Chain A
């Protein structure tokens, strides 16, 4: 049996059962195999990669991690699956999908709509990461929510790094490095987009570096260098990062606020 491999993510059991039923109803026309289910974003991040899913049916409003954030993490995979968003009522999300030509279904889902969406998804494949990022940016403007995690794709697996664990982001050549207390990872996002998304948590200290406001321990005078006169001391690392002359007033302000 080689039907379309479908993965279902929804926090409500009846909603997952309903989707299964509908898939069964039109199995004659569009053969599908449900290769897995998950109740929230974190479960899905773990299970979707190894399931070999081609299409993921994705609820928007879920505890822990919402559907759109999950889609962005899944897009990091090498064989990223197509996604079809499902929502009961989320005006803002629907608007963001419309604007960015992402496919979505409204609950209760109709069999014909689901079938049409599956056909489209299997022919068009996964949405690009840029498209998802744009939709997320759009949604953030209306509901103000940033991602809870950053993702790093490792072969056929997604590693999630909680944003609150990040000490700093640093741009080096083509890549952006993310530093936690324990480790360093490369991320795909640009420093500019990270700065925009996490403006309330991170502050730019230099053209190439964002640090977590909560991780700043203090400042120290830099020896010598003309352009850099201060260094930031951080929690969780012994590294001292240079503050550019341009950013210094902002940081000084932050320091006096506390």
Chain B
């Protein structure tokens, strides 16, 4: 999983279980077919007729292919890229031949040759695979950029210098505790500087949260109270790194530090069916909101979630009863599949 060469990205097949990918395939194939009939027809009404006719063959094939790819997605992801492409092509051609046979049996209008259907299918598959490859290439720089932004947003200088100051204060009175705090800081920074494009286990992100929290506790003492609700958290779930930590940091920075009395932060993570839900709650100080980059940090996380999960992730914020809540929902995944 860890690679030394940070810039090399092997091509991967798209994740056929991702809604965004499925939607793109549906739209792409239909547009392709429409372009074909438009080109071959003399006028609009003829084109429409032909498209409706072609749909009778096209749509069942398209749906069958998507269902098959959905089902076989884990197997396909294990093949090398070219092998995977070949497998996808073979699978769809097989389905095309099959649908063609079934359809030809009961059809009244003359059936187009099977070779043409197969050629159309092959072209569509090649075009789509090419499209997804280009798309992932186009987004890789965006991913590393997002990672950089993430880095900048994450290491809040305010946090770094105040933490170092707190550790300095500990060195003489409680050297053991100071050592632990420096170890926690080192772990935190190791993660901050690691490759932001690899998924991490939820358990690891949670232990990062705990390290971060213990440093903040050092600084803020009894002013910071964190309630951990992690009993139902699926520790094996995979998620992009540094999704929860910045949210907790935000909660402390905007929710606890501006308050003169103690502030309670709730960290809640649970699995609900095939989704993972995370919620972070903190006291809300409206007068403190306009000051700093809260929105920016949230926008940054939202963008990264989208890059990793396309349409299947959700990030929402709300303010109610003097509490600010951020909720994240991502698919429950145990394996790293292709990126959307």
Question: A108 with B157: in contact, given A14-B219, A15-B169 (CB under 8 Å)?
Answer: no
Listed from nearest, the 7 A-B pairs whose CB atoms lie closest are: A14-B169, A18-B169, A88-B161, A89-B157, A14-B166, A108-B165, A107-B165
A193 near B: Cβ within 8 Å?
A: no
Which residues from A are CB-within-8-Å of B160? 89
**What B residues does A15 contact at CB under 8 A?**
162, 165-166, 169, 219
Asked whether A78 is an interface residue with its Cβ less than 8 Å from the other chain, the reply is no
Q: Which of B157, B158, B165, B291 contacts A14 (CB 8 A)?
A: B165
Shortest CB distance A148–B (Å): 8
Set B161, B219, B291: member contacting A108, Cβ < 8 A: B161
The CA-CA distance from A21 to B220 in the complex, in Å, is 19
Are the C-beta atoms of B221 and A88 separated by less than 8 Å? no
Separation of A70 and B260 alpha carbons in the complex (Å): 15
Is A40 interfacial (CB-CB < 8 Å)? yes
A12-B166, A13-B221, A108-B168 are contacts. A63–B260 as well, Cβ < 8 Å? yes
Nearest residue (CB) in B for A92 is B291
For B161, give its contact among A18, A63, A64, A106 (CB under 8 Å). A106
B residues in contact (CB < 8 Å) with A: 157-158, 160-162, 164-166, 168-170, 172-173, 218-221, 223, 257-260, 290-291
* New A-B pairs, 10, CB < 8 Å, besides A63-B257, A108-B165: A11-B223, A14-B219, A15-B162, A15-B169, A18-B165, A18-B169, A63-B258, A88-B161, A88-B162, A143-B291
CB neighbours (8 Å) of B161 from chain A are 88-89, 106-108
A71 vs B258: C-alpha distance in the bound complex, in angstroms?
Answer: 18
Do A18 and B158 have beta carbons less than 8 Å apart? no
19 contacting pairs across A/B (C-beta < 8 A) = A12-B162, A12-B220, A15-B166, A15-B169, A17-B169, A17-B173, A42-B260, A61-B158, A61-B257, A88-B157, A88-B158, A88-B161, A90-B158, A107-B161, A107-B162, A108-B165, A109-B165, A144-B290, A145-B291
Please, how many angstroms separate the alpha-carbon atoms of A63 and B223 in the complex?
A: 11
A21 vs B259: C-alpha distance when bound (angstroms): 27
Query: Are A108 and B260 in touch, CB under 8 angstroms?
Result: no
Chain B residues near A109 (CB-CB < 8 A): 165
Residue of A nearest to B220 (CB): A12
Interface of A is mostly: loop
Tally A-B pairs: CB < 8 A: 61
Within the assembled complex, what's the spacing in Å between the Cα atoms of A151 and B182? 42
- List of B residues within 8 angstroms of A143 by Cβ: 291
Selected contact of B164 from candidates A13, A63, A108, CB within 8 Å: A108
Q: Which residues of B contact A14 (CB under 8 A)?
A: 165-166, 169-170, 218-219
Residues of A at the B interface (CB closer than 8 Å) are 11-15, 17-18, 21, 39-40, 42, 61, 63-64, 88-90, 106-109, 143-145
State the main secondary structure of chain B at its contact with A: helix
Q: Which residue of B lies closest to A40 (CB)?
A: B260
Q: Which single residue of chain A is at the shortest CB-CB distance from B172?
A: A21
* Cβ contacts under 8 Å, B164 to chain A: 107-108
| Bound Cα distance A144, B158 (Å) | 19
- CB of B94, distance to nearest CB on chain A (Å): 62
Name B157's closest neighbour in chain A (CB-CB). A89
| Assembled-state Cα–Cα distance A6/B268 (Å) | 44
Give Cα A64 to B165, complex, Å.
22
Collect the chain B residues with CB atoms within 8 Å of residue A106's CB.
Answer: 161
| Contacts known (A63-B260, A107-B161, A107-B162); A18 close to B168, Cβ less than 8 A | yes
Residues of A within 8 A of B258 (CB): 63
Distance of B328 from chain A, by nearest CB (Å): 28
Determine the chain A residues whose CB is within 8 A of the CB of B221 once the complex forms.
12-13
Q: Name the A residues within 8 Å of B169 (CB-CB).
A: 14-15, 17-18, 21
Closest chain B CB from A21 CB (angstroms) = 7
The docked-state distance in angstroms from the alpha carbon of A15 to that of B165 is: 6
Q: Are A63 and B291 in contact (CB under 8 A)?
A: no
Which residues of A are found within 8 Å of B173, using beta-carbon distances? 17
In the bound complex, CA of A42 to CA of B290 (Å): 22
Nearest CB of A to B317, in Å: 22
* B219: nearest chain-A partner, CB-CB: A12
Bound together, the chains give a CA A145 to CA B291 distance in angstroms of 9
CB-defined contacts of B168 to chain A, threshold 8 Å: 18, 108
Among B161, B169, B219, B259, the one with the most A-chain Cβ atoms within 10 Å of its Cβ is B169
User: What chain A residues lie within 8 Å of B166 (beta carbons)?
Assistant: 12, 14-15, 18
Which residues of B have CB within 8 Å of A144?
290
| B324, chain A: closest CB distance, angstroms | 16
Complex contact B291–A89 (CB within 8 A): no
CB distance from B215 to the nearest CB of A (A): 11
Residues of B within 8 A of A64 (CB): 260
Instruction: Check if B260 sits within 8 Å of A88, measured CB to CB.
Output: no
Residues of B within 8 A of A61 (CB): 158, 257
B179 to chain A, nearest CB (A): 15
Q: Which of A11, A63, A88 is in CB contact (< 8 Å) with B165? A: A88
Tell which of A17, A40, A88, A106 has the most Cβ of chain B within 10 Å: A88
CB distance from A71 to the nearest CB of B (A): 18
Contacts of A88 in B (CB 8 A): 157-158, 161-162, 165
Bound CA–CA A106/B39 (angstroms) = 71
